[in-house]
Chain A
Amino acid sequence: MAKHETPLIDQLESGPWPSFVSDLKQEAESRAKNEKNIEYQIPQDCCDDLLGVLELSYKHGRTHWKHGGIVGVFGYGGGVIGRYCDQPEMFPGVAHFHTMRVSQPAGKYYTTKYIEDICDLWERRGSGLTNMHGATGDIIFLGTTTPQLEEVFWELGHNLNQDLGGSGSNLRTPSDCLGESRCEFACFDTQAICHDLTNEYQDELHRPAFPYKFKFKFDGCPNCCVAAIARSDLAFIGTWRDDIRIDQEAVKAYIGGEIPPNAGAHAGRDWGPFDIQKEVIDLCPTKCMRYEDGKLEINTPECTRCMHCINVMPRALRVGNDKGASLMVGAKAPILDGAQMATLLVPFIKVEPPYTEIKETVIEPIWDWWMEEGKNRERLGELIKREGMQKLLEVTGFKADPRMIQEPRSNPYVFWKADEVPGGFERDINEFRKFHQR
């Protein structure tokens, strides 16, 4: 028997999409039965009480979680999001309901053995509920009590060789697209660098030392499957500098209708036979392609590597061989100054272990500047707006480049430094008056 009546959220059990309510109920039932005789370390009926509190929120149209909650594990300044229900007498099973962020493997590949191990741990010491995964990338353990935090952390570290993720004003958990592991478009090993930088900067991740949060994300190509350009303060986006590799025979096979365009992504509708002129050449943003005498040509210097032609004909066109990444900075959500996408800072850099150039010429100079100059709760993107792109170039030492802008400024409010102007700024009004009477 369910502990609480839930007539509103019960309506979310029907329909084809997997129902989180059904799943939550199945977990509540499994805990009530406890067929494995587990010594539950938090209330056995916590899932019932979560159903209850959610139902109450559906009734009231308002959340029933108290503001904030500061809990954690010794040695770290983040990783755990504390939560307390604002009706603890009614729902004692979720009076404490803290979230633990668990650092995920790059690319989110797993073995069933690993998943089983974390299920065992979390079933015993937590609610048995998770998010797979948080938007930043972490495995989210959803709901436990304060005394269990150290116990879970101990088991993670000692038995699973596994750390917590980030939260607070620090480096958050980096994440990546699946990259070279299963994509022919990948221009660098997203997983290798994601893992390397996560380990290199463990201190910055676990102990908040920044003005605000900071995120890294790694996309293997400009398709941006992990959305680095929109969701990370420092975005790595794969690209190449040489020619797109063209297999002319395969181009002919596309034209002949032997291979479906875009790998078959539009198979659900009849769009007519593939027309290379209409679907590729005319849609190229720079008009740098042509198809003549049965041969496809690309004028490489004019190509902006937007991926369209490669996406449409993955068997005929491949990214170049001289690969690396573009680095872009400052993406953030709207609070405070408005949303930002990332801005291009480094048009091209090689991405090869041990990534020394990236660490020493990009990441660390940016952090040095932002840690010193950033105001309380000011994202990197906002600091760049406040102090200017020029300042960013100054602190990183990169030279201004037309690739960094969409267009030159249209207002003439141009700052010059005294040493850029002959004679500097020190002048004498009396000298001036000798030639210009009052």
Chain B
Amino acid sequence: MAFISSGYNPKKPMENRITDIGPRKYDEFYPPVIAKNKGKWLYHEILEPGILVHVGESGDKVYTIRVGGCRFMSVTHLREINEIADKYCDGYLRFTTRNNIEFMTDKEENVKPMKEDLLSRKFAGGSYKFPIGGTGAGVTNIVHTQGWIHCHTPATDASGTVKATMDVLFDQFTDMKLPAKLRVSMACCLNMCGAVHCSDIAILGYHRKPPMIDHEYIDKMCEIPLAIAACPTAAIKPTKIEIEGKELKTVSVKEEKCMFCGNCYTMCPSMPLADDVGDGIVLMAGGKISNRRDAPKFSKVVVAFIPNEQPRWPTMTATIKRMIEAYSKDANKYERLGQWAERIGWERFFEKCELEFTHHLIDDFRDPAYYTWRQTTNFKF
């Protein structure tokens, strides 16, 4: 492996350095039909699951085929995407805000062969490379995070939980038979890099044991006041400890005040808390982002704990499926999961989804917790 220079000179690092040029400009990459009709679209239609057509004032049409992307992808896979875009779309493509891939063409005759071609491509293990879907009242891609592939603070894996869930919900990706769209998101710790706090159903990695403290190193590796300030419940105090006759500066964690958020570890490498049996999954439900009919909503915790059952998390996926089935059977047309739960009452939601209600689900974080309890006699038996 011989080193090949790009032209960068490490002896003169600031020489010929280009900075602050930002991203490439979006319109360099527009397919001609998009460039021509931009801002002049009249209407759109979903022709079938995963296939859209947009019609411009000019009468021009652009067909879009949306396919599932697993977000984590290799250059080999990207090159295969290129090959398809070159073959049917004059070398243009785009990615969505939920990490799906969209192939666009203004030639109607290209749609059918492209569709057949996409569905014929499979990985060696048998999974589709380019499943078509993700439009309308169904389940689209799962917005997710780094997990055990790259992050140091996760309580579960992202790519694995997502693959396991999408396999179970696959027929909802390729169809549009729900009352409204259903967004599933995933974050491997409660930093919630992504959309977990505002999704119809959310998978969240969670710890259940307080951090361990590496007393011998903490003062060398961490800025102790930052670790103290990192704690939402003020469970951390500075303290001193004696190890082998030497007095060391460290912290103590009041275990009964710690709710295992892991934020102190984010700030301080000497406070790790990951644990094989302690860690697992919280499920949340009922969030949404759009302003359609009512305001955006936060998702609420509906299952306090499901253990990590890698590689396929069967309890988690079965619980998600049960929630979606209850919602699909009971909700009105256009009703998002959170709107349904609020209309029937959360007491009925737990009954219909066959979820156990435990004390963990009652809010106890500061003053706002009060507003989540029931200050009325209106409830259902």
* Min CB–CB distance B3 → chain A (angstroms): 7
Known contacts A19-B127, A307-B292, A333-B192: does B74 contact A135 (CB below 8 Å)?
no
Question: Is there an interface contact between B76 and A30, defined as CB atoms closer than 8 Å?
Answer: yes
Task: Considering the complex, give the chain A residue whose CB is closest to the CB of B276.
Answer: A61
**Cα(A194)–Cα(B27), bound, Å:** 12
Question: Is there an interface contact between A110 and B126, defined as CB atoms closer than 8 Å?
Answer: no
Question: Is there an interface contact between B170 and A111, defined as CB atoms closer than 8 Å?
Answer: no
Is A267 on the interface with B (CB-CB < 8 A)?
yes
When each residue 20-41 of chain A gets 1 if its CB lies under 8 Å from chain B and 0 otherwise, what string results? 1111111100100000000111
Which of A157-165, A288-296, A352-360, A414-422 forms contacts with chain B?
A157-165
Q: Which of A308-331 contact B (CB under 8 A)?
A: 308, 311-312, 314-315
Question: Is there an interface contact between A338 and B195, defined as CB atoms closer than 8 Å?
Answer: no
Task: Considering the complex, give the chain A residue whose CB is closest to the CB of B31.
Answer: A109
Question: Is there an interface contact between A279 and B292, defined as CB atoms closer than 8 Å?
Answer: no
Is A263 on the interface with B (CB-CB < 8 A)?
yes
Q: Which of B59-110 contact A (CB under 8 A)?
A: 62, 64, 68-79, 81-82, 85-86, 91-97, 99, 101, 104
Could you say which of A26, A189, A229, A306 contacts B74, with CB atoms under 8 Å apart?
A26
Is A15 on the interface with B (CB-CB < 8 A)?
yes
**Cα(A199)–Cα(B21), bound, Å:** 7
Known contacts A13-B125, A119-B75: does B145 contact A135 (CB below 8 Å)?
yes
Q: Which of B172-208 contact A (CB under 8 A)?
A: 173, 175-179, 181, 190-198
Question: Is there an interface contact between A336 and B192, defined as CB atoms closer than 8 Å?
Answer: no
**Cα(A371)–Cα(B67), bound, Å:** 42
B166 / chain A contacts, CB cutoff of 8 Å: 17
Could you say which of B19, B34, B95 contacts A76, with CB atoms under 8 Å apart?
B19
The binding surface of chain B is classed by DSSP as: loop
**Cα(A74)–Cα(B153), bound, Å:** 27
Question: Is there an interface contact between B72 and A142, defined as CB atoms closer than 8 Å?
Answer: yes
**Cα(A308)–Cα(B177), bound, Å:** 19
**Chain B: interface size category:** 35 or more
B123 / chain A contacts, CB cutoff of 8 Å: 13, 18-19, 22-23, 26
Which of A174-182, A395-403, A425-433 forms contacts with chain B?
A174-182
**Cα(A158)–Cα(B272), bound, Å:** 41
Q: Which of B38-53 contact A (CB under 8 A)?
A: 38-39, 41-49
Is B10 on the interface with A (CB-CB < 8 A)?
yes
Question: Is there an interface contact between A135 and B195, defined as CB atoms closer than 8 Å?
Answer: yes
Which of B129-137, B242-250, B351-359 forms contacts with chain A?
B129-137
**Cα(A262)–Cα(B46), bound, Å:** 9
* Min CB–CB distance B126 → chain A (angstroms): 6
Known contacts A17-B131, A115-B82, A335-B263: does B150 contact A142 (CB below 8 Å)?
yes
When each residue 257-277 of chain B gets 1 if its CB lies under 8 Å from chain A and 0 otherwise, what string results? 000010101100100101111
> Which of B68, B75, B85, B333 has most A Cβ within 10 Å?
B75
Is B116 on the interface with A (CB-CB < 8 A)?
no
* Min CB–CB distance B23 → chain A (angstroms): 4
**Cα(A194)–Cα(B22), bound, Å:** 11
Q: Which of B147-180 contact A (CB under 8 A)?
A: 147-154, 157, 159-160, 163-164, 166-167, 170, 173, 175-179
A22 / chain B contacts, CB cutoff of 8 Å: 123-125, 127
* Min CB–CB distance A109 → chain B (angstroms): 4
Known contacts A105-B23, A184-B44: does B150 contact A58 (CB below 8 Å)?
no
* Min CB–CB distance A40 → chain B (angstroms): 6
Known contacts A110-B92, A265-B135: does B291 contact A223 (CB below 8 Å)?
yes
Could you say which of A15, A61, A271, A283 contacts B277, with CB atoms under 8 Å apart?
A61
Is B375 on the interface with A (CB-CB < 8 A)?
no
Question: Is there an interface contact between B289 and A162, defined as CB atoms closer than 8 Å?
Answer: no
Is B30 on the interface with A (CB-CB < 8 A)?
yes
Known contacts A41-B3, A132-B78, A338-B365: does B293 contact A23 (CB below 8 Å)?
no
Task: Considering the complex, give the chain B residue whose CB is closest to the CB of A180.
Answer: B39
Is B296 on the interface with A (CB-CB < 8 A)?
yes
When each residue 218-240 of chain A gets 1 if its CB lies under 8 Å from chain B and 0 otherwise, what string results? 00001111110111000001000
**Cα(A39)–Cα(B1), bound, Å:** 6
Question: Is there an interface contact between A106 and B23, defined as CB atoms closer than 8 Å?
Answer: yes
Is A412 on the interface with B (CB-CB < 8 A)?
no
Known contacts A18-B70, A66-B152, A158-B18: does B159 contact A180 (CB below 8 Å)?
no
Question: Is there an interface contact between A285 and B293, defined as CB atoms closer than 8 Å?
Answer: yes
Task: Considering the complex, give the chain A residue whose CB is closest to the CB of B29.
Answer: A109
Could you say which of A12, A74, A107 contacts B311, with CB atoms under 8 Å apart?
A12
Question: Is there an interface contact between A18 and B69, defined as CB atoms closer than 8 Å?
Answer: yes
A279 / chain B contacts, CB cutoff of 8 Å: 333-334
* Min CB–CB distance A218 → chain B (angstroms): 11
Question: Is there an interface contact between A163 and B296, defined as CB atoms closer than 8 Å?
Answer: no
* Min CB–CB distance B84 → chain A (angstroms): 9
Could you say which of B5, B29, B44, B160 contacts A110, with CB atoms under 8 Å apart?
B29
Is A108 on the interface with B (CB-CB < 8 A)?
yes
A40 / chain B contacts, CB cutoff of 8 Å: 1
Known contacts A182-B64, A307-B292: does B131 contact A16 (CB below 8 Å)?
yes
Is B310 on the interface with A (CB-CB < 8 A)?
yes
* Min CB–CB distance B74 → chain A (angstroms): 4
Q: Which of A108-139 contact B (CB under 8 A)?
A: 108-116, 119, 122-125, 128-133, 135
Is B362 on the interface with A (CB-CB < 8 A)?
no
A14 / chain B contacts, CB cutoff of 8 Å: 125-127, 167
Is B113 on the interface with A (CB-CB < 8 A)?
no
Is A169 on the interface with B (CB-CB < 8 A)?
no
Question: Is there an interface contact between A54 and B149, defined as CB atoms closer than 8 Å?
Answer: yes
Question: Is there an interface contact between B79 and A182, defined as CB atoms closer than 8 Å?
Answer: no
Is A5 on the interface with B (CB-CB < 8 A)?
no
Could you say which of A20, A115, A177 contacts B159, with CB atoms under 8 Å apart?
A20
Question: Is there an interface contact between B128 and A17, defined as CB atoms closer than 8 Å?
Answer: yes
24 contacts between A and B (CB under 8 A): A39-B2, A50-B149, A57-B148, A65-B148, A65-B150, A75-B14, A105-B26, A106-B23, A115-B78, A123-B75, A130-B73, A133-B99, A152-B6, A181-B26, A181-B34, A189-B39, A195-B22, A262-B137, A264-B45, A266-B137, A266-B179, A285-B294, A336-B263, A338-B365
- Given A16-B170, A230-B195, A335-B191, list of 18 further CB < 8 A pairs? A9-B160, A13-B123, A13-B124, A17-B68, A62-B279, A63-B147, A63-B148, A68-B269, A125-B6, A128-B75, A143-B150, A158-B18, A184-B54, A224-B290, A229-B291, A333-B192, A336-B232, A338-B365
